């Protein structure tokens, strides 16, 4: 199979009209203030978590008004996790009956709540791996020599 040719230049005509998909510029929406849902306001721990993390997420354009309820649920799950962990610290992790020992049901509920919270946290880029996958900003209009060299090293050659 033949080659498709050299990589397109950013100043080419196709780039100017937006057909060069290699360097297509996607404009990120401007940060918009997001109101805290009423369910989060009623819970002090969840409201504290919102106040601690929402400004950074709004600035990074990961939290928008249409995602406020989802992030509110993430805050409520964090509050529930803290409450269950505190309750579990006063109890045993296993329960013993005449039929034998089994795990405390609170341990399973805490594990499921943590799993749900982690899934929501990934959606907002709050874990290290998901933060690396979410694009931060649109690329610069002009490519520096260092960026061009890095792109040539990382973009596979087609043959």
- Residue 75 falls inside a structural domain: yes
31-52 per-position pLDDT tens digit = 888 999 999 999 999 999 999 9
Residue 8 within a domain: no
Backbone angles phi, psi at 90, to 5 degrees: -90, -10
Question: Does 137 score more than 60 pLDDT?
Answer: no
Total count of domains within the chain: 1
Average pLDDT, the chain: 81
- Within-domain flag for 6: no
Q: Which residues pair with 101 in a beta bridge?
A: 96
Residue 66 resides in a domain: yes
Q: Which residues pair with 96 in a beta bridge?
A: 101
Does residue 68 sit within a domain? Answer: yes
137 in a structural domain: no
Residue 28's pLDDT is 62
- What is the value of pTM for the model shown? 0.64
């Amino acid at each position: 199979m033949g080659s498709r040719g050299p990589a397109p230049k950013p100043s080419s005509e196709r780039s100017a009209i937006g057909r060069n998909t290699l360097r297509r510029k996607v404009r990120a929406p401007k940060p918009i203030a997001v109101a805290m849902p009423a369910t989060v306001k009623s819970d002090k721990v969840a409201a504290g978590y919102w106040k601690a993390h929402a400004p950074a997420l709004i600035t990074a354009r990961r939290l928008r008004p249409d995602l406020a309820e989802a992030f509110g649920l993430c805050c409520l799950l964090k509050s529930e996790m803290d409450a269950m962990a505190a309750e579990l610290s006063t109890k045993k992790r296993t329960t013993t009956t005449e039929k034998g020992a089994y795990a405390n049901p609170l341990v399973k509920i805490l594990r499921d709540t943590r799993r749900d919270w982690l899934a929501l946290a990934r959606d907002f880029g709050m874990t290290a791996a998901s933060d690396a996958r979410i694009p931060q900003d649109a690329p610069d209009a002009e490519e520096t020599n260092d960026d061009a060299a890095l792109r040539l090293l990382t973009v596979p050659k087609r043959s």
